[in-house]
Structure 1
Amino acid sequence: MPQLPIPVQTIGLLLLSNIFMTFAWYGHLKFKSAPLLAVIAISWGLALFEYMLQVPANRIGHGYFNAAQLKTIQEVLTLGIFILFSIFYLGEPLRWNQLVGFGLILVGAWFVFQTFPGQQG
């Protein structure tokens, strides 16, 4: 079986890890009556799976991407997943000011991947 390109492996693993982490951080908001310690334990368990995907993603991707680019990919994926999660799981509307704010973050992410005159690689 052919090996997937490094960017595909990296982004795919980061995407999956972010799904786990979004549920770990925010999934409990639908269950406010659940005991806090139980919610923490469940979130911690979900975070374990997140780490089992994110650590290999960063190891595979580092060298092709630099650390700042890896973090930026992770943050952009987090925003995209969070938007979908917020709308479809939590049932919260996405407001125009949130879209503008997220858009500005995406502009910042674009800058991370640019090389400008006078910069090395």
Structure 2
Amino acid sequence: MPPALSTILLLVCSNLFMSFAWYAHLKHGQTKPWLLMVFMSWGIALFEYLLMVPANRIGYQVFSLAQLKILQEVIALSVFIPFAVFYMREPFNWNYIWAALCMVGAVFFMFRG
């Protein structure tokens, strides 16, 4: 598999874990002790790091550090929006579209020659 594609797939998976680590306790853990939710989130985040670190190491072969960062942010937003709408049951908001368009601009500037 090409390094760019491996990087993107690993980043998508890691961001899915991180969305759960950061936000799922807001849906399911309101009545549980916050310290328990911290350890649960850390446990989920461990899997995120097991994917993020190899993604960055592979991606650094073909992307600059700044390109890796903006790629990560675009993927984070791309994963977060469906997570928020479908899992957390947040209403879809036009601000998601405006934020995505701003990210398209960021990608343009980061990846232009």
1:53 to 48, 51, 54: 51
Q: Which has the higher contact order (CA 8 A, sep 6+)?
A: 2
- Between the aligned residues of both structures, percent identity stands at 48
Deviation at 1:99, TM superposition (A): 1.9
Compare the two structures and name the one with the higher helix fraction: 2
- Bigger shift: residues 43-52 or 26-35: 26-35
1:24 to 21, 38, 50: 21
- Name the counterpart of 2:68: 70
Q: Could you list the per-position Cα deviations for residues 60-85 of structure 1 after superposition, in whole angstroms to 9, with x for gaps in the alignment?
A: 11021011111111111100110000
Deviation at 1:30, TM superposition (A): 0.4
Deviation at 1:97, TM superposition (A): 2.7
Structure 2 residues without counterparts, runs of 5 or longer: none
Please tell me whether Structure 1 or Structure 2 has the larger radius of gyration of its CA atoms.
Answer: 1
Cα distance between partner residues in 1 of 2:46 and 2:95:
33
Deviation at 1:93, TM superposition (A): 1.1
Moved over 3 A (4+): none
Letter in 2 for 1:28: H
Letter in 2 for 1:64: V
Cα distance between partner residues in 1 of 2:99 and 2:9:
25
- Name the counterpart of 1:13: 10
- Bigger shift: residues 50-59 or 94-103: 94-103
- TM-align CA RMSD: 1.1
Structure 1 residues without counterparts, runs of 5 or longer: 116-121
Q: Could you list the per-position Cα deviations for residues 72-117 of structure 1 after superposition, in whole angstroms to 9, with x for gaps in the alignment?
A: 11111100110000000111112113321232122112211112xx
- Name the counterpart of 1:84: 82
Q: How many correspondences in the alignment?
A: 112
